[in-house]
Structure 1
């Protein structure tokens, strides 16, 4: 029985990877007032941030419904597939819970649902490793065990221009958001072991963000061989600089690059630069 991989759109995977590994993507929703857009379908990174800059209302996001997952799962099951479904941190979105509800509607279906405790290319990197394991012919149980090890091991670090979006969307408190208003202070954040946004540090000056991000990755992994992902929101020059610095300082097996999509962008705003890493396991 073939295994099919399902992810949600917050994985921010490139179309090339989605097509190469035949990954099914379930989109989240982005709301601008009464307008509703499917992430990655009706809005790409460029169109989202253009709309954000011209909008008078703060966008919000919502998870796919259990019915959305039910349709995807029943279609794949009808083709005779087992399913591994990997999703954004359950502490950041109700997406994982929607997937669980859909699974429970399908008694005895061969569906494995995984909480990545991550987001954006953090989730994308986990899903990518899962896709490669499927292609290698590994079984569901072995893949789940390996992915859980990756989830436990993964470190995600990101710098933001402002904490306004995270605060307004309820991802951090007002007190934490005040840090970002200090002159020339750039907050550095992470997702902790529970998959919750947490402060990692702060630097004074934009030029110190990239060295700090790579330093934090190096502190954890030293010279271990790592898989890395780098993501950005309208900061291509910073992305290139981070990529070059990471290659220089880290012992990298493989690198993914990508844009931060509209759902994650709703919560972070533009100007985000992120690096994710985990020890190469297979």
Structure 2
């Protein structure tokens, strides 16, 4: 038996929630003293309202090693853990510490491996799906780990934000840059580096042009599209995500395209109207 543990930045579509092999470990969000669990109780619209009204902006806290330890319990003898990029969160280190503590208390009981996604959001989801594909194909634990690490190295994550306010409030963007971008309606096209950091890939005037630029980057950087699954996560903008999916389908044929709404942590970073693509 196997289990796939994903921190709550990784969205689980309904079919994966019902699958039985997946489990989320929740991060915690905080907005002006209000603490919110990123689990099934998360209210996206209420959270977005709080973020918009906040002067200081939202923050997040990663799961504790103890929370990860509890997620490793159960009948599964193979446990695979997928976390937010280690460059963006302490979730990876917390999961690793939880693994070490679990193995000290339960030596030899099960095999556990923690994947640093070097991504976020639906990038984590795709990694979980890759693990499941390998397990269902009958691979050994070591073969699953090797194949999935190779897959992670081939992945790319892209996103476009409607507003830069959260980045400004968090101090990740200067007030001047945010002011200029908002005034000129400039939308940066962002992406992940090989190490799992965030970089700017380009920019465009207006959301539609920025989304088109992102789609072009996706197609240009993805090899063997027909053999890859592409995932789109959107923050409160299903029609925008649908339009992005349709444009991609006209330009390339992917093995599968999945679309889902952002969970709590991804909502915090994407903000209202943001779109994320992982492939």
1:122 & 1:80 partners in 2: Cα distance? 24
Q: CA deviation at 1:173?
A: 6.1
Distance 1:232 1:130, change over 3 A: same
TM-score of the two chains, using structure 1 as the length reference: 0.88
C-alpha offsets along residues 238-266 of structure 1, whole Å, 9 cap, x if unaligned? 11110100111112001121111221222
C-alpha offsets along residues 102-141 of structure 1, whole Å, 9 cap, x if unaligned? 1111234521111000000111111122123223332221
1:101 & 1:50 partners in 2: Cα distance? 35
Q: CA deviation at 1:223?
A: 5.6
Partner residue in 2 for 1:127: 128
Secondary structure at the counterpart of residue 182 of structure 2? coil
Partner residue in 2 for 1:280: none
Q: CA deviation at 1:176?
A: 5.9
1:223 & 1:110 partners in 2: Cα distance? 32
Distance 1:185 1:57, change over 3 A: closer
1:170 & 1:140 partners in 2: Cα distance? 41
Check whether the contact 2:56–2:169 (CA below 8 A) recurs between aligned residues.
Answer: no
Partner residue in 1 for 2:24: 25
Partner residue in 2 for 1:60: 59
Check whether the contact 1:233–1:259 (CA below 8 A) recurs between aligned residues.
Answer: yes
1:150 & 1:179 partners in 2: Cα distance? 38
Partner residue in 1 for 2:230: 228
Partner residue in 2 for 1:15: 14
Pick from 100, 104, 111: which aligns with 1:104?
100
Distance 1:182 1:35, change over 3 A: closer
Check whether the contact 2:225–2:255 (CA below 8 A) recurs between aligned residues.
Answer: no
Distance 1:69 1:249, change over 3 A: same
Matched, 1:43 2:42: yes
* More displaced stretch, 26-35 vs 170-179: 170-179
Q: CA deviation at 1:271?
A: 1.5
Secondary structure at the counterpart of residue 10 of structure 1? coil
Distance 1:51 1:163, change over 3 A: closer
Q: CA deviation at 1:15?
A: 2.9
RMSD: 2.1
Aligned residues: 273
Secondary structure at the counterpart of residue 270 of structure 1? coil
1:199 & 1:267 partners in 2: Cα distance? 15
* More displaced stretch, 141-150 vs 236-245: 141-150
1:263 & 1:12 partners in 2: Cα distance? 10
Check whether the contact 2:4–2:22 (CA below 8 A) recurs between aligned residues.
Answer: yes
Partner residue in 1 for 2:2: 3
Matched, 1:216 2:217: yes
Show the 5 A alignment for 1:188-267: 188-221=189-222, 224-225=225-226, 226-267=228-269
Show the 5 A alignment for 1:109-188: 109-171=110-172, 177=178, 180-188=181-189
Distance 1:26 1:11, change over 3 A: same
Q: CA deviation at 1:30?
A: 0.8
Matched, 1:275 2:277: yes
Secondary structure at the counterpart of residue 41 of structure 1? coil
- Unaligned 5+ residue runs, structure 2? none
